[in-house]
């Protein structure tokens, strides 16, 4: 799929190999306190896919299959990739890069949207030299510099492009634990935590 359209309902539902999320918390440590009960991080479902038949997580799609998109600057995209790699590197055993892919699929906007003079989309952002090597705040629920920068621009009505983030995972050759030492398996459209063996 090369693009999505904002507000469309996509013609597939969550299932054993597909899950939707509409937040940016890769791991539990990135979930804000007030969301800890209701939202689940990506790591549980990606761990479950690895330990089952593989699968695909689409971020920026609602539970009911509607395209929402997530606005990301180039720095926030880099941040997200780094957080995902950092998460897989902390799985036990470490997940090698041949087992997963991360891609950003553009979300197209209905004609005329953001062109009303109040909001401006910045589709052609070129990185600033001083920002290229700045360290990102991973593993934290607190906003990173890249989030604060995006927020400041949003207040000036400048929005970065929106994306659906697609994270595909292959079936692992062995069983993995996530970065918190928990192990999941995929049910029909849920992630079941595995109890420790008692023998
Ligand atoms: Zn960042």
pLDDT over 50 at 199, yes or no: no
46 Cα: distance to centroid of ligand 1 (angstroms) = 22
Q: Residue 146: which of 161, 129, 162, 134 has the closest Cα?
A: 134
DSSP string, 4-68: EETTPBPS---BTTEEEE-S--SSGGGS-GGGTTT---HHHHHHHHHTTT-EEEEETB-TTSBB-
Ligand 1 centroid to residue 79 C-alpha, Å: 5
Token look-up 């990506």 returns: 42
Please answer whether residues 82 and 30 qualify as being in contact, where contact means their C-beta atoms are separated by less than 8 angstroms: no
3-class SS at 165?
strand
CA of 87 to the centre of ligand 1 (A): 15
CA of 78 to the centre of ligand 1 (A): 7
Are the CB atoms for 125 and 74 separated by under 8 Å? yes
Asked if residue 112 has pLDDT above 60, the reply is: no
For residue 12, the CA-to-ligand 1 centroid distance in Å is 32
Quick check: 141 pLDDT over 80? yes
Neighbours of ion ligand 1 (CB under 5 A): 79, 136, 144, 146
pLDDT above 70 covers what percent of the chain?
Answer: 93
pLDDT tops 80 at residue 8: yes
pLDDT of residue 157: 86
pLDDT at 198: 43
Q: Which pTM value belongs to this model?
A: 0.90
- pLDDT above 70 (res 197): no
Average pLDDT over every residue of 192-199: 65
Cα-to-centroid distance, 13 and ligand 1 (Å) = 31
Expressed in angstroms and rounded, the spacing between residue 74 Cα and the centre of ligand 1 is 10
DSSP summary character for residue 100: E
Is residue 136 over pLDDT 60? yes
By C-alpha distance, which of 67, 46, 57 is closest to 21? Answer: 57
Domains plus CATH for the chain? 4-193 (3.30.950)
15 CA distance to ligand 1 middle (Å): 31
pLDDT of 196 strictly over 70: no
pLDDT in tens, 50-99: 999 999 999 999 989 999 999 999 999 999 999 999 999 999 999 999 99
Residue 48 · residue 191 · CB < 8 Å: yes
The helix/strand/coil state of 185 is strand
Cis bond upstream, residue 169 (ω within 30): no
């Amino acid at each position: 799929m090369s693009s999505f359209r904002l507000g469309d309902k996509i013609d597939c539902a969550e299932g054993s190999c597909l899950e939707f999320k509409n937040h940016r918390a890769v791991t539990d440590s990135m979930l804000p306190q007030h969301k800890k009960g209701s939202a689940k991080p990506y790591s549980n479902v990606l761990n479950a896919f690895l330990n089952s038949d593989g699968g695909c997580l689409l971020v920026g799609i609602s539970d009911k299959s509607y395209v929402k998109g997530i606005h990301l600057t180039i720095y926030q995209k880099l941040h997200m990739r780094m957080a995902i790699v950092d998460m897989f590197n902390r799985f036990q055993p470490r997940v090698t890069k041949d087992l997963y892919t991360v891609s950003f699929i553009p979300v197209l906007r209905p004609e005329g949207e953001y062109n009303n003079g109040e909001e401006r989309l910045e589709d052609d952002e070129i990185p600033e030299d001083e920002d290229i090597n700045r360290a990102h705040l991973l593993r934290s629920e607190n906003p990173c510099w890249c989030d604060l920068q995006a927020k400041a621009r949003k207040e000036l009505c400048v929005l970065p492009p929106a994306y659906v983030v697609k994270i595909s995972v292959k079936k692992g050759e062995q069983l993995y634990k996530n970065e918190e030492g928990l192990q999941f398996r995929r049910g029909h459209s849920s992630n079941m935590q595995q109890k420790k063996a008692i023998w």
